[in-house]
């Protein structure tokens, strides 16, 4: 389960508990207004990522209603939880000072705050683990993308090397053709021209043999 589903579920469950306390205990308008204000703040946290200092508004509202309704003491469970899930456990513990109020000395209220603090710390750990997991997943995804990019670059470099090798081979062949074939054909042409003016049959045969050798060498090259 997503940790934020648990967090939002606990928030609205606490609002439900406050409404239940209002129904079975006191039907005062001040209690209803307090619950309504806490519900609005909880709904804002459900929809938006509010900064941690926003929790002090909850604390201020609860302290403001201390003289008017006992539900305000139980409402402090919400900021205790909110501070705990943001890693501000020392502030949550500080709010336990409210237990020293004359009316707030019951063991039930102590355990009510304790469960809020416990679930807040549990949610904080769960959210941190989720964030760590997401960072690991992002790092792994980034590493895979980097490997794919390197693979593509290597394939492109390999294709480029093959293409360069082919170009160099063609250049070598063209150079050999130009150097050797042109030289042999030129020599054969000059030998044929000389053959026309040679009177000695042996010299004529030597020229023809030279022409034959050059032509054979040029065709083999």
38: left (phi over 0), alpha (psi -120 to 50) or beta: alpha
87: left (phi over 0), alpha (psi -120 to 50) or beta: left
For 157-176, write each residue's pLDDT tens digit: 788 778 777 767 766 665 66
pLDDT band (50, 70, 90) for residue 186: low
What integer pLDDT is reported at residue 34 of this predicted model?
A: 92
- pLDDT at position 202 over 70: no
**Residue with more model confidence, 103 or 16:** 16
Task: Output the CA torsion 62→66→70→71 (10° steps).
Answer: -10
Q: How far apart are CA 206 and CA 221, in angstroms?
A: 22
Q: How far apart are CA 192 and CA 167, in angstroms?
A: 36
- First and final CA of the chain: distance in angstroms? 76
Q: How far apart are CA 178 and CA 184, in angstroms?
A: 10
- pLDDT at position 99 over 80: no
For range 144-162, the mean pLDDT? 83
Q: How far apart are CA 162 and CA 13, in angstroms?
A: 68
Q: Are the beta carbons of 77 and 55 closer than 8 angstroms?
A: no
């Amino acid at each position: 389960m997503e940790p934020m589903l648990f967090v939002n579920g606990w928030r609205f469950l606490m609002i439900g508990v406050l409404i239940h306390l209002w129904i079975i205990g006191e039907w005062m308008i001040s209690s209803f207004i307090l619950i309504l204000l806490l519900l609005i703040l909880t709904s804002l946290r459900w929809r938006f990522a509010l900064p941690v200092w926003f929790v002090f508004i909850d604390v201020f509202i609860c302290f403001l209603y201390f003289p008017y309704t006992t539900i305000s003491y139980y409402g402090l469970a919400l900021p205790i939880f909110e501070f705990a899930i943001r890693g501000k456990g020392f502030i949550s513990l500080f709010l336990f000072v409210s237990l020293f109020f004359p009316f707030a000395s019951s063991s039930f209220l102590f355990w009510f705050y304790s469960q809020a603090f416990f679930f807040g710390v549990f949610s904080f750990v769960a959210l941190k683990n989720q964030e760590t997991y997401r960072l690991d997943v992002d790092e792994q995804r980034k590493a895979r993308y980097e490997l794919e990019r390197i693979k593509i670059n290597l394939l492109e470099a390999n294709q480029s090397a093959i293409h360069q090798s082919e170009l160099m081979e063609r250049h070598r062949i063209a150079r050999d053709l130009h150097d050797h074939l042109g030289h042999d054909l030129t020599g054969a042409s000059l030998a044929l021209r000389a053959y026309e003016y040679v009177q000695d049959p042996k010299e004529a045969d030597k020229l023809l043999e030279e022409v034959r050798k050059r032509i054979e060498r040029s065709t083999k090259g």
